[in-house]
Homo-oligomer: A and B are copies of this chain.
Amino acid sequence: MPYVNIKVTNDGVTPQQKQRLIEGTTKLLVEVLDKDPATTFVVIDEVDTENWGIGYDQVSELRKNKGD
């Protein structure tokens, strides 16, 4: 019955990438802990870069400054 929450910045993650994250995480829990995939939840949160901070700054600002 694992529950996994993945938070990433909102950078145009595609449905296919989401599917790979869900499948890969579930496989990992089955392989490492023998969990039942039928009751393994994976929830992905996409967070605006303006709402994510690291090293005192918003990711949105860090990217502007780095030309990233």
Residues of chain A touching chain B, judged by Cβ–Cβ distance below 8 Å, are: 1-9, 11, 13, 15, 17-29, 31-33, 35, 37-47, 50-61
Q: Pick the contact of A55 from B24, B37, B52, B57 — CB < 8 Å?
A: B37
Residues from chain B with Cβ under 8 Å of A9 in the complex: 1
Known contacts A2-B8, A6-B4, A7-B2: A40-B19 contact under CB 8 Å:
no
Copies of this chain present: 6
Sample 19 A-B pairs with CB under 8 A, ordered by A number.
A1-B41, A1-B52, A3-B7, A6-B29, A18-B53, A19-B61, A21-B28, A21-B33, A21-B53, A22-B57, A22-B58, A23-B57, A24-B28, A26-B55, A37-B55, A39-B39, A41-B54, A42-B52, A43-B51
